[in-house]
Structure 1
Amino acid sequence: MRKNAAALTANEKRRFVNAMLEVKRRGEYDAFVRTHIDYYTADGEKGLRAAHMAPSFLPWHRRFLLELERALRRVDSSVTVPYWDWTRDRGTASAPWTKDLLGGNGRKSDRQVTTGPFAYAAGHWTIKEGITDGKYLTRDLGRAASPLQLPTKSELQWALDDPAYDVSPWDSTVTRGFRNKLEGWGTGGGSASWHNHNRVHRWVGGVMLGGASVNDPVFWLHHAFIDYQWYRWQQAHKTHRYLPATQPGPGDKQRGRVVARLDKMPPWNVTPDSLEDVSGIYRYG
C-alpha cells in the first residue's frame, strides 16, 4: 500500500526516512541517480527515448519506482513509497516539507536545504552524482524570483479525461493524449508551457531541475503520485491501453525511437505491456 504522505504516522515517516538514508549509505541510491541521468534523452537527440518525451514515460518510471521500493524494502520490509498529492498539499510548510519527512525549502542565499534528515549539514545526504559540482540538496519551492503555482485538480483532470493514451508523433509536441498532458510538455514559452508533472519539477526547483532530479527524495513522492494518475486513468478508460501497440511504420521518423507495447524497455528489458497491471504488486490508499 502506497499512502498519501500527509497521512503517514510518525513511525511510518521515520522508517521511510531511515530506509532512504540506508540505501544512500550503501551506495545504491547514487546508482538510481546515474540511471535517470543516462536515460534523460530529449526529442532532439538521436536514438531511443525510453524515459521522457515518449509513450514509455509512465511504464519506465513505474519500473524505476518499483526498483527503489524494492531497495527500501530490503532495508525495512514495512516501507513503501508514499505519494505527494500536490493538488491538495500546496504550501511550502505542508506535507511532505516537514522536518520529520523531507525537510523544507532551501535558504535564500544558495538554496541549500538546511532542515530535515536530507540536509547536507546532517551528514547523510551528500550529492555524488549530478550535473553540477554541488554537494548539497537545493530547493526553491514556488520559485521566489518568478513565482509559479502547482498544478490544480482541474489541470490534472484535463489529462485524465483524455481517452487516448498517446498519439503520433509520440513525442513532446503532441497536444492530444493522456501521457503528454500528464508529463506536461506544452506549446508556447515559459511557465505557461509546463503542465502537471513538468510544472511540479519547476515548482520544487533546485536539483529537481534536470536529469539529476532523483537527488531530491521528493522525486519519488512526486512520481508515485504520477503513477497513481496512470492507475486512475486506466480505471476510467478500461477499453484503452498503452500506445503505440506496434512500432511506427517504415519511413516514420519515430520508428525505433519509441517503445511499443511489446517492445523491451531498457535498462530492464521489460515491456510496457507487463507493467500495465500492477494490482498484484501494490495499490494506492
Structure 2
Amino acid sequence: MFRNASIYDLCTWIHHYSTKPILHNCSYAGMRDFAHQGPAFTTWHRLLLLFLERQIHLLTGDDCFALPFYDWSKDKNCSICSDELLGSNDKKGNILESSSFSSWGAICSHSDSPNNYCQSAARDGYGDTLHRNPGFAKGSSLPTLEDVLNTLNWTVYDAPPYDRTAKNCFRNVLEGFLNPSDGMTFGFEVHNKLHNYMGGTMFEITSSANDPMFIVHHNFIDSIVETWIRRHGVTPGDFPECGLPGQDPLDFMVPFFPRYQNRDLLQTSLAFGYTFSYLPGAV
C-alpha cells in the first residue's frame, strides 16, 4: 500500500520497523530487534534523531533548526503537557481540542504481532489518534536527577549477554531494565520509566514514536549518552562484539540509507555537528 506520508510518518514507521522481531534461521528471534535490548539502543536512536532533524532542515531550508529536548529529571508532573506545548489531556487520555495535537494522526498502532509491519486503518489515512495520560498508571513517576547521575557512573558500556538481563552496564541501566543505583535489580527505570509514566501512545513501544513526546524524550536520553561518552572518553572501538544479528559493531543500522555501522555513532556528538545547550550531570 502507498500513502501520502509526512516526514514524521516516515520517522514513526522507521522506529516501528526496528521493533519487529528479527527473522533468523527461518524463525523469529524472540525479543531481539534492531534498536532495543542490546548495544545498538543508544546509537540507533541517535541516528533516528539525526535523520529527522536533517529532513526538517531540507523541508524548511533552515539548517540551524535543532530538535528540542525535555529534561524530565527537573520536572514533577510533565510541565510540557500543556496546550501551548505538547498538549493537555482529559482523564481518558484524549488530547484536548484546545491543543494543536488533538487531531494528530498515529500510524502503525496496535501492530505487535511479528508479521504485522504496520497496521493502518483508515480514518483520514491514520489508524488512530494521539493519546497520553501522564501519571495515570498506578505507581508511575518521572525519572529523577539522581537516576541520571547514578546512570552516568556505570563505566562499562554493555555486558554479556547483551540484552535486558545484562547487569552493571551503562546501556541496560539507561534503557531502563536495571535500577540505576545498584545495576543489578530489575525494574522499569530511566528511559522505560518515562514511557510508562506518559502512558497512551508512548506506552506502546512499537508505535510510541507517533507522539512528539518520543522525540523530546529521546533527545534528552541522547544528551545523557553524550555526557557519558565525554566523561569516560568513549570511542567507536568501545562498542562490543555481541553476536546479535543487527547489533554487532560492524552491522549496519536498519533500515537507514546511507548506511551507518552501529559503532559509528558511539562517539561525541561534535563529530556529527551538534551539541547540547547543557549536559545533565556534566562535570
TM-score range, shorter chain: 0.7 to 0.9
Write the letter of the residue equivalent to 1:260: D
Which SS does the other structure have where 1:50 is aligned? Answer: coil
Could you list the structure 1 runs, at least 4 aligned residues long, displaced by more than 4 angstroms after superposition. 41-45, 239-244
Check conservation: 1:165, 1:241, Cα contact below 8 A: no
Write the letter of the residue equivalent to 1:116: S
Counterpart residue number, 2:228: 233
Q: If the length of structure 2 is used for normalisation, what is the TM-score?
A: 0.77
Give the alignment of 1:1-285 within 5 angstroms. 27-41=6-20, 45-46=28-29, 49-76=33-60, 77=62, 78-92=64-78, 94=79, 96-104=80-88, 106-108=89-91, 110-114=92-96, 115-120=98-103, 125-131=104-110, 135-143=128-136, 146-186=138-178, 193-209=187-203, 210-238=205-233, 243-246=238-241, 248=242, 255-257=243-245, 259-268=247-256, 269-275=259-265, 276-280=267-271, 281-285=273-277
| CA–CA separation in structure 1 for the residues paired with 2:147 and 2:8 | 32
Write the letter of the residue equivalent to 2:255: P
| CA–CA separation in structure 1 for the residues paired with 2:85 and 2:20 | 31
Segments of 5+ residues of structure 2 without an aligned counterpart are 112-120, 122-126, 180-185, 278-283
Check conservation: 2:239, 2:263, Cα contact below 8 A: no
Check conservation: 1:243, 1:260, Cα contact below 8 A: no
Segments of 5+ residues of structure 1 without an aligned counterpart are 1-24, 249-254
Check conservation: 2:252, 2:261, Cα contact below 8 A: yes
Write the letter of the residue equivalent to 1:200: L
Which SS does the other structure have where 2:135 is aligned? Answer: coil
Deviation at 1:261, TM superposition (A): 2.4
| CA–CA separation in structure 1 for the residues paired with 2:237 and 2:145 | 24
Write the letter of the residue equivalent to 1:82: P
Deviations 1:17-62 (A, max 9, x none): xxxxxxxx85222122222111114699518632000100000000
| CA–CA separation in structure 2 for the residues paired with 1:107 and 1:98 | 12
Counterpart residue number, 1:18: none
Q: If the length of structure 1 is used for normalisation, what is the TM-score?
A: 0.77
Which SS does the other structure have where 2:19 is aligned? Answer: coil
Deviations 1:71-110 (A, max 9, x none): 2222331421100000112323x2x223222112x211x3
Q: How many residues align?
A: 241
RMSD: 2.5
Which SS does the other structure have where 2:264 is aligned? Answer: helix
Deviations 1:231-274 (A, max 9, x none): 0001111157665433x4xxxxxx24352223322212311332
Write the letter of the residue equivalent to 2:131: T
| CA–CA separation in structure 2 for the residues paired with 1:142 and 1:242 | 40
